Amino acid sequence: MEKLAAILLIAGLGCFAFAGLLTGYLPVSHLSKIEVKTLDEIAPEPSIDFIDLSERYPEQFAKYYGEPTKEAFHKALRLGRDTYIAEACWHCHSQFIRPVSNEDIRFGKVSWADEYRNEMFLPHLFGTRRVGPDLIRESGRRGNDWHAAHFFDPQLVAPLSIMPRYTWFFDGEEPNDKGIAMIAYMQWLGSWTTPQMMAYQARKEGAKGEEASE
């Protein structure tokens, strides 16, 4: 009887160790080797929307970001992402379009793995609930002024909205560092799928291919 118990104990511990190896160690050792792109690679220039913010709110922009440079743009994107996490926007919004239920008709191009392989999606923000719409194709859907009004009080532009007001993204009525960051971040989400960006990427890939073949 004791022998059987000992065998079961050893078998149990063995299974436990095997499961740890299979579901813990192996995925981590494999995934940690995947190269993650930096903002320098995926957002080499400040976006048109970011420059527009610097012209629309010149004093607030200069106060928090100075000039609309690449560095300022990256600072805003990172703060936007961090604020999105801190304010738990992901409780109500997803950032992932699935190839089912005609989601592409409602939101836009179905998501693909590579678009998440960069520092802006660590941790990933797929989300699990859609109290509000998916946001991964938000870029260009609205203007900067629409976003400003919407964060100040969603019901100003969407009368039946249950999204909360984010008045602390503003100093008075003008967006502050968080407000500017959040608008820049919204306008960035999915900007790489616009026809202009796709063509730009294709040209860059083509140039790389030519270099390699020389």
Contact positions vs ligand HEC (CB under 6 A): 84, 87, 89, 91-93, 131-133, 135, 138, 141-142, 154, 158, 161-164, 166, 182, 186
Provide the token pair at 205.
């890939």
Q: In terms of CB distance, is 13 or 162 closer to ligand HEC?
A: 162
Taking the least distance from each CB to ligand HEC, the nearer of 143 and 174 is: 143
CA 185 – CA 74 distance, rounded (Å): 10
Per-residue tokens: 9: 């104990």
Closest approach, Cβ 55 to ligand HEC, in A, equals 21
Q: Tokens for 132, please give them.
A: 């509000």
Q: Alpha carbon of 49 to those of 20, 106, 196: distances in Å?
A: 47, 23, 14
- Nearer of residues 68 and 190 to ligand HEC, judged by Cβ: 190
Q: Name which of 34 and 88 has its Cβ closer to ligand HEC.
A: 88
Size of the chain in residues: 214
Instruction: Report how far residue 121's alpha carbon sits from residue 196's, in angstroms, rounded to the nearest whole number.
Output: 22
How far is it, in rounded angstroms, from Cα 181 to Cα 89? 14
Shortest Cβ distance from residue 114 to ligand HEC (Å)? 24
Least distance in angstroms from the C-beta of 120 to ligand HEC: 14
**Cα separation of 48 and 71, whole Å?**
15
Report, in Å, the least distance between residue 69 CB and ligand HEC. Answer: 24
Amino acid identity, position 186: M
Q: How far is the CB of 156 from ligand HEC (least distance, A)?
A: 10
Q: Which is nearer to ligand HEC, 161 or 176 (CB)?
A: 161
Reading the block at residue 200, the tokens are 């730009």
Cβ 58 to ligand HEC shortest distance, Å: 24
CA dist., res. 158 & res. 160, Å (int): 6
CA distance 92 to 88: 8
85 or 199: CB nearest ligand HEC: 85
